[in-house]
Each structure stands twice: as structure tokens, then as C-alpha cells.
Amino acid sequence: MAKAGYAGPLEQISPFQFRIPKDYREDMRVDGMIFADDALIGSIKADQGPEQVVNVATLPGIQKASLAMPDIHWGYGFCIGGVAATDPEEGGVISPGGVGYDINCGVRLLRTDLEWADVKGRIRPLVEQLFRDIPTGVGQRGSFAFTKPQLVELMEQGVSYVVGKGWGTDRDVQFAEAGGRLDDADPGRVSDRALMRGADQCGTLGSGNHFLEVQVVDRILDAPAAKVMGLHEGQITVLIHSGSRGLGYQVCDDFLAVFKDAPRKYGFTLPDWQLACAPVRSPEGQAYLGAMRAAANYAWCNRQLLTHQAREVFARVFEKPWQDLGMDLVYDVAHNIAKFEHHDVGGGVSKQVCVHRKGATRAFPPGHPEIPEAYAETGQPVIIPGSMGTASWVLAGQPGSMVHSFGTSCHGAGRMMSRTAAVRLAEGRRIDRELDAIGIIAKARGHKGLAEEQPAAYKDVDLVVDVVDKAGISKKVARLRPVGVIKG
């Protein structure tokens, strides 16, 4: 984690936007724009995230502005919370650092017909059974193993592949972003090393900030939207956060090496080698896009298989088929991805651009053609996880997202301290016992994982969500309180 803070210019242009003017550095092609308020900007300036916003503003073909959400913090190349759109027809580039190592890390929310009163007396055995049955942690193998030909099919078809095997429903396909599948995936661009890493990890949670959480809806702020999403106060929900595991990590690593020499080859320079990129229309760019889409499809299958396992646990504990428990998918959204979308790039000009979302959530508004018909009047569900001991939020995409942020919202609370610092802060403490004392049962492979992810390591998610709500990017619908969580 970078230690020095940001000392460059930040001009507040609205209560919820700060601009870094493009004349700050002569290599900037567009302004930088950070969504934040007075309560958050101090912590945002405490690390080098804003300087990474500046670095991204130098990318060839970047449109409108280099953006960052209020959960911004220092990352690899791009900041976490970074958003950038490039125009492929103007030499625009694709950057693995703008997608992230964990390709299509994302979240999905399941509703249930269970009330907290039904679950309160069984929450501990429920969490313990989830922890026993769902593989968590580094290097854990899953119950599902795929041969190379099967993996190729899975990466081509996305979530419909595993649903076709009986591990889900048609609704699970319909209510996933992009139908749980990016077109034009090219598994042939995925290395044998990546395939080997992914062969038995589909259906595993992983480590770091990944989790499966049992929650209670404790507040409804938009009753009509909540009703459409099937949410009400006192209801039990399940939130799943995971991505493409070792397969996606290896794809990113492989292509960072491929892209290392691309700037010199195509005649541009970069302020940070971690921004390694290539023109979208170049052979290197097309190869990465094919592999990235394949890894993204793998990630949707991973979350689907985690869903299948969670449903089976609930069915066992509550002695009813999961269908009778009403465990339907509300929505599934990606956090680390690059996609081709049409957006206004300024001056009333709309064009197709390559939108990088690095730790950022798509937030399409009511009426957008790419969201399920059920959400046509409310807007796309935007799911913002908290930090294990704090609430998560469900929001709905708003028209302001298309005006201000390429249809994008924040993705979480955002780290305030490194994992090393968090472990140091937890010395002599038991985070699991502290959480238990406030009514949250946490199970993990070791105490270090909980220490790294303790709530104190993150910004206040309520403040982060306030910014995107008041900025008109996404609107608060419901607040979800954690009661049980499993982690790697």
C-alpha cells in the first residue's frame, strides 16, 4: 500500500464531485473526476489513489474524464474504484490494470421467504454448515471439477452452462448482468496454466475480501423499488462475493507480460508501467479481450455454483427444498470488467466505448435495454457490500449515472488501511469474538483473514453510499445487516 498522500490539485465543483484539472500534468488528456464529499475527501487524499486517477487520464483514446468512485483507494495501475472509457476508433486502449487481477470479481444477492424470527435460533448451525460445505480460502478445491473441453464450453457459454447441468434456474441467467455471459469469449487465448488453476476452483469462495454473508433487511428506503426486488424489513438475504479465482488471476498476469512492450510498439508512453495496455483493435488487445471475457464467464459460473451450494445448505438446515424457501436471485453484478457500451462522451455525442470498471459497479437507469424487464421502472439493482461488521446496501441505477459516470456506481466501502496495517491493529484481539459480541457470527480459515478484513480497515459504507445517492448516480433502496459470514 502506498504511504504518501496526494498533494496535487482538487477543485470541488459540486457537493459530491472533485476535479483534477488536466493542466495539472502536461501528459493528461482529460480531467480527473472523483465522486466524494467533505466527509470522505480527507481519507481519499491520504493515499495515492488520486494520483492514479491522473495516470489513467493519460491513456490513449480516453473519453470525457478519468473517474473514481467514493470508495477509491490505491490499486494496481488503476485505483480501486476507477472508471475509464476509451474509444477504439481513436486508438483507445484496453488495460488489464483497469480490469484487475480478479476478473469479474462481483456480488450477487439472494432473497428468501425466511424472516429473522425463523432463523435467529438456528443462525450459528447455519453459518457453521455453510462454512463446512462451501470451500473457502487459498488453494481450496471445490466439489466441481471440469476437464479442459468442459472448461472451454463453460467459458464460452457462461452461467447458462452450469444452469444447464441442473445447478440453477433460468431466472439465475436472466437476473445476472449481461445474462451471465460476455459474447466473443475466446478460451483459446486462456493459457494452459490458467486452465489448470481453474479446473477445480469453480464453486469456491477464495480468500481476501471474498465472503458469503447471511443478512437481515433492516431498513427500506424506497418501498416501491424494494417490492419489485422482493425485499422487505426483517427478511433474510444471502450475499455472495467472489470472482474468477486463480484462472482470472493467471489471465491478468499472462497479459501484463504480453502488454509490457506494447506502448513502445504502438508509439505512446505511460507514467506507470502497471498501466500496461495496447490498442483495443490491436492483435494484443483483441487477444486479451477474448481471454478476459472467458475469465468473466468463468466467474459468473463460480458465483452460480456458490449459489447452488448455499441453497443446498439452507434446504438441509431448514428441511425444505430451497424453492420453498424462496431463494431467488435478486441480481448479480460485476465489479472488475471491461465492456463495450454506448455512452455520451460530451457535447451530445454518443458513441461505443470500452468501459473499464475496476472496483466499480454498473448502475444502469430505468428503461435501459440491458437490464431485466422486471427492473425497467426501478433501474438496475446496485449491490454494495459492507465490511463484514457493517451493513450492505441495495440501490437502483439512476439517470445521473449515464450523465456523470458512464453508467457506473461505487462497489463497496473502500479500504482505508493496508492488510498489513489491519493485522497490526488486530494484535492481541480476536475479531471473531468482537463480531460475535455484536451479533455477527464469523467463520474463517484463520484469525489473520478476519484481522485483514476487520471493519476498521474500511471507510464507512453509509458515507460512501450517501455520495452516489445524493449525486444521482444510484438511489438507496434497502439496507442489509449482517448476522453471519464465512470467509477464506
Mean pLDDT to the nearest integer, 423-448: 86
**pLDDT tens sequence across 205-243:** 998 889 999 999 999 999 999 999 999 999 999 999 999
Alpha carbon distance 310, 355 (integer Å): 32
425 and 456 Cβ atoms separated by less than 8 Å: yes
Mean pLDDT to the nearest integer, 184-192: 98
Mean pLDDT to the nearest integer, 245-252: 97
Looking at the annotation, which residues are catalytic? 411
Q: Which of 131-140, 210-219, 344-353 has the lowest mean pLDDT?
A: 131-140
Mean pLDDT to the nearest integer, 109-136: 97
96 and 244 Cβ atoms separated by less than 8 Å: no
pLDDT score at 418: 82
Would you say how long the chain is, in residues? 488
CA-based nearest residue to 73, from 469, 413, 477, 455 = 413
Cell of 388: 463484514
**pLDDT tens sequence across 375-385:** 999 999 999 99
% of the chain beyond a pLDDT of 90: 86
**pLDDT tens sequence across 59-68:** 999 999 999 9
pLDDT score at 3: 57
**pLDDT tens sequence across 3-45:** 579 999 999 999 999 999 999 999 999 999 999 999 999 999 9
pLDDT score at 69: 98
**pLDDT tens sequence across 384-398:** 999 888 999 999 999
Asked whether the predicted pLDDT for residue 438 surpasses 90, the reply is: no
421 pLDDT tier (thresholds 50, 70, 90): confident
**pLDDT tens sequence across 262-276:** 999 999 999 999 999
**pLDDT tens sequence across 401-416:** 999 999 999 999 887 7
Q: What is the CATH number of domain 11-487?
A: 3.90.1860.10
Q: Tell me, what amino acid is at 321?
A: P
391: left (phi over 0), alpha (psi -120 to 50) or beta: beta
pLDDT score at 1: 42
pLDDT score at 91: 96
Asked whether the predicted pLDDT for residue 151 surpasses 60, the reply is: yes
Alpha carbon distance 233, 225 (integer Å): 13
The rounded mean pLDDT for the chain is 95
69 and 408 Cβ atoms separated by less than 8 Å: yes
466 and 204 Cβ atoms separated by less than 8 Å: no
**Beta-bridge partner residues of 343:** 351
For every residue of the chain, which 3-state class applies, written as one string? Answer: CCCCCCCCCCEEEECCEEEECHHHCCCCCCEEEEECCHHHHHHHCCCCHHHHHHHHCCCCCECCEEEEEEEEECCCCCCEEEEEEECHHHCCEECHHHCCCCCCCEEEEEEEEEEHHHHHHHHHHHHHHHHHHCCCCCCCCCCCCCCHHHHHHHHHHCHHHHHHCCCCCHHHHHCEHHHHCCCCCCHHHCCHHHHHHHCCCCCCCCCCCCEEEEEEEEEECCHHHHHHHCCCCCEEEEEEEECCHHHHHHHHHHHHHHHCCHHHHHCCCCCCHHHCCEECCCHHHHHHHHHHHHHHHHHHHHHHHHHHHHHHHHHHHHCCCHHHHCCCEEEEEECEEEEEEEEECCCCCEEEEEEEEECCEECCCCCCCCCCHHHCCCCCEEEECCCCCCCEEEEEECHHHHHHCCCEECCCCCECCCHHHHHHHCCCCCHHHHHHHCCCEEECCCHHHHHHCCHHHECCHHHHHHHHHHCCCEEEEEEEEEEEEEEC
